[in-house]
Copies of this chain bind each other. A is one copy, B any other.
Amino acid sequence: MDNRPIGFLDSGVGGLTVVRELMRQLPYEEIIYIGDSARAPYGPRPAQQIRTYTWQLVDFLLTKNVKMIVIACNTATAVVWEEIKEKLDIPVLGVILPGASAAIKSTEAGRIGVIGTPMTVKSDIYRHKIQALSPEMDVTSLACPKFAPLVESNQLNSSLTKKVVYETLQSLTGQVDTLILGCTHYPLLKPIIQNVMGPQVKLIDSGAECVRDISVLLNYFEINRSRDKQELRHRFYTTASAKSFADIAKVWLNRQVDVEHVTL
């Protein structure tokens, strides 16, 4: 048993898609979240900068005495997950392996698509992880640089967003039977993405898949939170506007949350 909170980090609000799934599957765990919206998106930035920023978020979470860190950001996972996991003595999870693993189980034709930020796609990490497990898989990756900024600005269902998603994904339609949403912002656009790709394409939410792994690791390391009556006190932090973050969180988590602005 370990009643300390689980720490989540993301370049912005995308990691809330992982938090929502955690609240559903593991409602008794307490959450500390830090989103770096002031510097989002991370996707187009150079790797060294992503590394520095991500370590700042990790260090912030460590001051909050977390028992586990979830890098709820594909870009940061691609660049620096292994390094962080190696250096810390608490479990550190990324979102890429759970997504890759779920896609392999899901695909029937062996044709997997991956959409992500420019950095995630450039790193080619999904192809690398998928083909290491299953060499015969065909993996097609596509950078969607406009998606995360649309989500950060809370345009989840605007006609502009629909147009951008439609135009961006054209080259993938009909090419894959499984599509990895390789950025935690993208599940916020899931209905539009599903509509463009067609109902037969299975969308893999890398963040949701990651929560199943969180559950197993809480068991394995014996650090579940006791389900007593003690009230949970989730805490959310952002490097940008607390109000904007709270607005998106309210819609996405279907609850009011306290958000505090911080400077790193």
A interface residues (Cβ-Cβ under 8 A, vs B): 1, 91, 93, 97-98, 101, 132-136, 212-213, 215-217, 219-220, 222, 224, 226-228
* Copies per complex of this chain: 2
A135 partner, pick from B97, B135, B224, B226, beta carbons under 8 A: B226
- The residue of chain B having its C-beta at the shortest distance from the C-beta of A97 within the complex is B219
With A101-B215, A215-B101 already in contact, the answer to whether A220 and B135 are too (CB < 8 A) is no
- Shortest A134–chain B CB gap in Å is 5
Residue of B nearest to A96 (CB): B219
Set of chain B residues within 8 Å of A133, measured between Cβ atoms: 224, 226-227
Chain B residues with Cβ below 8 Å from A226 are 132-133, 135
In the bound complex, CA of A133 to CA of B224 (Å): 7
In the assembled complex, 28 residue pairs joining A and B whose CB atoms fall closer than 8 Å, in A order, are A1-B132, A91-B220, A93-B220, A97-B219, A97-B220, A97-B222, A98-B216, A98-B219, A101-B215, A101-B219, A132-B224, A132-B226, A133-B224, A133-B226, A133-B227, A134-B227, A135-B226, A135-B227, A135-B228, A136-B227, A212-B212, A212-B216, A213-B216, A213-B219, A213-B220, A216-B216, A216-B217, A217-B220
